[in-house]
Chain A
Amino acid sequence: SLAGFGNLMQDVLWCFSQVKGTIDIGVTEADIISTVEFNHTGELLATGDKGGRVVIFQREQESKNQPHRRGEYNVYSTFQSHEPEFDYLKSLEIEEKINKIRWLPQQNAAYFLLSTNDKTVKLWKVSERDKRPEGYNLKDEDGRLRDPSMITVLRVPVLRPMDLMVEATPRRVFANAHTYHINSISVNSDYETYMSADDLRINLWNFEITNQSFNIVDIKPANMEELTEVITAAEFHPHHCNTFVYSSSKGTIRLCDMRTSALCDRHAKFFEEPEDPSNRSFFSEIISSISDVKFSHSGRYIMTRDYLTVKVWDLNMENRPIETYQVHDYLRSKLCSLYENDCIFDKFECVWNGSDSVIMTGSYNNFFRMFDRNTKRDVTLEASRENSKPRAILKPRKVCVGGKRRKDEISVDSLDFSKKILHTAWHPSENIIAVAATNNLYIFQDKVN
């Protein structure tokens, strides 16, 4: 059939599935989505926003009656994870914005996730209750205590069904360990520890212990005036619980092994690409700052995102990436303007698909990009209400960089830089993606034939 003819990625046609959030023209800042994450099975999808709230969506069971609705995501739980705080000692306000959410693998009926703002990490337990015990001895049905001297008969409480209730309870609060702003959290493959990284330090936590953490990386210089580099992201290796990587504002990645020493200031591997002299500009260092680093599911590669590119690195080759993908190279000639309006500091994230064959990252104008590592094809898609008819196939977009603009193309100067896709997520095993566009969450799926 000709269904795929003319499309860049012929194997997959992406369709609109759902959008969450309001269509209001004025966006409440608290509703701006700041992180998106599927859990390990893809059954749950969590978002965090600037207002400190977490919303969890659950995929509904697929129904034989409506096979084309391949498991829609509906709200499962909503809770306030973090509140704004005021640090009296430093006279600073601590934002409630959720910087990152990371799921723990499911070990029993309840779900656990970590959520963090700039200073405090919290472990949340999300559990269902569909039965409630009735017939207590010491309290009546309203919960009021009964006078024990009036109790003459003992009964055994029984469980009776009730409407499903999903509760989120904070199980641990890991606070007071970060002087600077937390940018990353990562759960270790041992499922007993996790790390939190701020601009200058990385701490290792045990889930059971909240009043102490081990500092495993510290790049703060003795004299702050000598500071030239900060930590921008960090992640544990998916299988080796002693290995983690962290990226820097200078475009480098360090891989550390916790077995070698308690304080991992000396890296085991150092990944850096030599600078291309032909691309040198005043903004070279700023655009080389890595905004996100992600291990592949296989653990053999890492992917990094800087302002203009996405790079894939082989863990065995430190001197250059094995693949480099241009996200929006047409911005290279606009760097001064983007510096002036601070867009050059935007921190885009990047994600792998389940099989590590496709990578995805966001751009401006609500565009997001996918790169197929095998076919070397790439596509630009847009998250917008106009393309939001049920199961409508997303049309590839194209930015015109000069010369004659075709009818469906958009020129660089017409791009809306306030519409930025910073956060995306890919289902762990299926072609389902979640794209956060300011205060809206778009869910796209591949076309069902």
Chain B
Amino acid sequence: MLGRGLKRKLSDYEENMAGLSSAFDSSRSLSYPLRRQLVLNMCLTKLQTYKMLVEPNLHRSVLIANTVRQIQEEMRQESNQQPINVCPGITPSTHSYVESSGVSLQLPSGISQQESHCCDLRSVEDPIENSLLIVSDDDMSSAISSILKDLDFVEDISPPTCLVPTGDDQPKFPENTGLKLEDDRQDLKGAECVFGSFEISNSTSYLKDLAIDDIFEDIDTSMYDSDFCCPPLMPPRPPSLATEEPLKTFPSCNSSSASNIQICRADLSELDHIMEILVGS
């Protein structure tokens, strides 16, 4: 199917994660910093996976981003409260850590006053810890903002300002037939972000591919078809067109399907209804 997200294969990493999450649930001996690290890694992995989808789930992304924010805030508070400490035994297993003047490592796995505490736990937690990614504060922030930016879809509806109809004004039409970029700066920014993640190499190529009819399919003519206020008699028409021409009443917007049997049925049943009135059931 087009546009679908990638199908994940169960990798070693994920099998490891499943084992780790069971360890999280069942084991009480996992230290709090390690549990937090585990959750953080899971969150970032999920966000990373969502970013690869064409349309990430907004609800889940927000919940996961909030969890990352919560952990991030906690870590920030900890690093503000305590001096930076070195835990020599812990070996980071991957890329993102900050090294300043040689000694300090930014240890997201919790900064403990007691080195011995770290080293004692080493024997239990090393295999677990070695499989976790070490993540910086910047990594967390950028993971959150990049997934949320991806969810800022360019809107094809008008900005929803107050829609109280006055005597003269028409209420805003929520639909249009083309892409409408907002004037607002933030929406432009959103537009750029969205287009940044899509591969539209030639902006006119897909217009050429569309049949002309498809472009006009989403014009809604249903206001011309009225269910409850139709006159009892049909307006005069040439007999050859009398009952056979279905009104194009309900075009499916964005639909690639040209035929719509239900449209014809709607029209015929309407005529049957009129016949019944005339005949007097």
Chain B hits for A3, CB < 8 A: none
Compute how far the CA of A191 lies from the CA of B18 in the bound complex, rounded to whole angstroms.
50
Q: Quick one: given A210-B220, A224-B149, are A179 and B25 in contact (CB under 8 Å)?
A: no
The number of A-B residue pairs with CB atoms under 8 Å apart is 221
Kindly report which residue of chain B lies nearest to residue A288, judged by CB atoms. Answer: B63
Indicate with 1 or 0, residue by residue over B43-87, a CB within 8 angstroms of chain A CB atoms. Answer: 000000000001100111011111101110000000000000000
A133 at the interface (CB under 8 A from B): yes
Indicate if the CB atoms of B3 and A93 lie closer than 8 Å: yes
Report yes or no: A91 in contact with B3, Cβ–Cβ below 8 A.
yes
Contact B272 A133 (CB under 8 A): yes
Size class of B's contact patch? Answer: 35 or more
Q: Does B139 contact A (CB under 8 A)?
A: no
Contact with A along B16-38 (1 / 0, CB 8 A): 01100110110000000001101
- Is B114 an interface residue, CB under 8 A from the partner? no
> How far, in Å, is A166 (CB) from chain B's closest CB?
12
Query: Are B157's CB and A225's CB within 8 A?
Result: no
A339 within 8 A of B: yes
**When the two chains form their complex, are residues A171 and B227 in contact, meaning their CB atoms are under 8 A apart?**
yes
Please state if B220 and A334 are interface contacts (CB–CB under 8 Å).
no
* A263 interface residue per 8 A CB criterion: yes
Within 8 A of A (CB), among B178-202: 179, 184, 186, 190, 194, 198, 200
Inter-chain contacts of B103 with A (CB < 8 A) = none
Q: List 6 A-B contacts (CB under 8 A).
A: A136-B275, A261-B162, A263-B160, A285-B66, A336-B38, A345-B63
Contact of B160 (CB < 8 Å), options: A79, A215, A261, A345: A215
B218 on interface, CB distance cutoff 8 Å:
yes
B contacts, CB < 8 Å to A = 1-4, 17-18, 21-22, 24-25, 35-36, 38-39, 42, 54-55, 58-60, 62-67, 69-71, 144-145, 148-149, 151-157, 160-164, 171-176, 179, 184, 186, 190, 194, 198, 200, 206, 210, 218, 220, 222-223, 226-228, 239-240, 242-244, 250-257, 262-263, 265-266, 269, 272, 275-276, 278-279, 281
Write out the residue numbers on chain A whose beta carbons fall within 8 Å of the beta carbon of B263.
170
User: Which residues of chain A have a CB within 8 Å of any CB of chain B?
Assistant: 79, 83-94, 120, 127, 129, 131-133, 136, 138-139, 145, 148, 156-159, 167-173, 175-177, 179-181, 199-201, 203, 208-215, 218, 222-225, 227-230, 232, 249, 261-263, 282-283, 285-286, 289, 333-337, 339-342, 345
Once the chains bind, are B3 and A173 in contact (CB under 8 Å)? Answer: no
A169–B228 Cα distance when bound, in Å, is 15
Q: How far is the CA of A334 from the CA of B18 in the complex (A)?
A: 12
- Selected from A138, A158, A211, A283, the residue in CB contact (under 8 A) with B279 is A158
Q: Report Cα–Cα, A339/B20, bound state, in Å.
A: 12
